[in-house]
Amino acid sequence: MIEIAASTAVVYQRIIIDIAMYFGLFVIVAMALNFQYGNAGVPNMGCAVSASIGGYTVSAIITRIIYYVGTNANIGMKPYATDFDWNYNNQFNTYLMNDYIAEHALFGMSMFLFSIALGFLMGWLMGYVISLPAIRLRATYLIITLITMADAAQILGRNVVWISGGTLGMWVPNVFKWYPGDRTIIMAVATMLIGIICYFILRTMLNSPYGRLMRGVRENDLTVQSVGKDVTAIRRNVLMFASGITAVVGVLIGYYYSYVIQSNFIRATWTYWPWLMLMIGGAGNNAGTFIGCALIIAMRRIIIVYKWSLEQYIWYPIVIFESQLLATLLLVVMIFRPDGLIPEKLLRIPGIDYKRLVHEEAEVDWRIERTDPSERGGLLSRIKGGGKKKEEAE
């Protein structure tokens, strides 16, 4: 009995750690997306590109640096120069390097921090590259190019072996090997910490003058342009910064699995889910992003963990059911709650009562086509005759 209880406790601990880890990862992506779409109006459908760049940074650059240090330390590393050796000696080399890192905690920690910095830098540069073709054009073109780029990143990762081991994937040295306990716990804690840091950075940026400029670009780019601001540059900067933050998530997921493969960075996971979280929670405020993220991650993880019990009720594979459920959820939320669970909040400017300014004196309508709640009526009438009521009122 005690053994069963202990194993159940272990299972629950695993589920909790897993949910915490995924929550930490996706909340960063969703916050970055909220930064772009919710505040600057940049519809970034290429989060998968940035995330995969983070993963590739770990596998192609950081692993090489770690191997280089190991070769100089003379611990019997096998060669890794050619593509073949890079792929097939990878497990052995990683095993040796894990032992090396267990003795040199400082080296492991410094590599972890360096990889996050480098991941941010690479994501930032990649943001420039992916924004190059279409940031000047209409949103439609931007969405089309970013969606195609997500596939391009995967094709390159699949076929260029030195990036992430091609179709076989790459094992990545465990930089937390010096930690005596469960590796996943310290990984989850580190992810949460980075998430909190990202939250404060993004919040500070949003409440700064630049944040107000971003909202101005979202609301009316022509006005912003006419007062002498470079709208294209603002959009590009926002995309680059958020792309860097998303790349940090790619780095973290590489370390969490200790394994990098291109198929981890599929478009559905890294672009569609963050959008789903953003839409459910409500674009434009971080609280909504947290709630949306928590809901989706809990739902998905529980479906995956209790797959066996659920499979008895559904005759087709549970993966299909999960995708259908999430897609239906997004459509239902968009139809019945277009603003999300929590509507957008106004920005905070120190020293100015912004709320009073907006609501009383300036009378600025921040949302296009926001109707009076009393005019809306019930849900069914809103769907059936939303357009007709306006005509009657006129």
Interface contacts to other proteins, rule CB under 8 A: 37, 43, 45, 132-134, 137, 139-141, 143-145, 147-149, 151-152, 155, 158-159, 268, 272, 275, 279, 316-317, 320, 323-324, 326-328, 330-331, 334-335, 338, 368-369, 382-383, 386-387
In this structure, are residues 31 and 230 in contact, taking their beta carbons and an 8 Å threshold?
A: no
Nearest of 250, 78, 71, 59 to residue 172 by alpha carbon:
59
Q: How distant is the alpha carbon of residue 339 from its chain centre? A: 21
Could you tell me the smallest distance in angstroms from the CB atom of residue 40 to other proteins?
13
Q: Which is nearer to other proteins, 75 or 268 (CB)?
A: 268
- Secondary structure letter of residue 220 according to DSSP: -
Could you tell me the smallest distance in angstroms from the CB atom of residue 2 to other proteins?
42
Q: Which is nearer to other proteins, 170 or 330 (CB)?
A: 330
CA distance 379 to 374: 12
Q: Which is nearer to other proteins, 16 or 314 (CB)?
A: 314
Could you tell me the smallest distance in angstroms from the CB atom of residue 388 to other proteins?
10
Which of 176-203 are b and which e, b meaning 16 or more Cβ less than 10 Å from the residue's Cβ?
Answer: bbbbeeebbeebbebbbebbeebbeebe
Q: Which is nearer to other proteins, 124 or 275 (CB)?
A: 275
Q: Which is nearer to other proteins, 196 or 335 (CB)?
A: 335
In this structure, are residues 283 and 63 in contact, taking their beta carbons and an 8 Å threshold?
A: no
Q: Which is nearer to other proteins, 65 or 155 (CB)?
A: 155
335: Cβ contacts below 8 Å, ≥ 6 apart: 383
Could you tell me the smallest distance in angstroms from the CB atom of residue 85 to other proteins?
19
Q: Which is nearer to other proteins, 43 or 343 (CB)?
A: 43
CA distance 98 to 92: 10
In this structure, are residues 114 and 62 in contact, taking their beta carbons and an 8 Å threshold?
A: yes
Q: Tokens 């692993």 belong to which residue?
A: 63
CA distance 285 to 199: 11
Q: Which is nearer to other proteins, 139 or 287 (CB)?
A: 139
Could you tell me the smallest distance in angstroms from the CB atom of residue 145 to other proteins?
6
Could you tell me the smallest distance in angstroms from the CB atom of residue 313 to other proteins?
15
Could you tell me the smallest distance in angstroms from the CB atom of residue 133 to other proteins?
4
Nearest of 171, 188, 207 to residue 87 by alpha carbon:
171
371 CB-side CA count, 13 A: 12
Conformation bin of residue 41: beta by default, left when phi > 0, alpha when psi is -120 to 50: left
CA distance 337 to 226: 34
CA distance 219 to 222: 9
- Secondary structure letter of residue 136 according to DSSP: T
Q: Which is nearer to other proteins, 160 or 192 (CB)?
A: 160
Could you tell me the smallest distance in angstroms from the CB atom of residue 74 to other proteins?
36
Could you tell me the smallest distance in angstroms from the CB atom of residue 210 to other proteins?
22
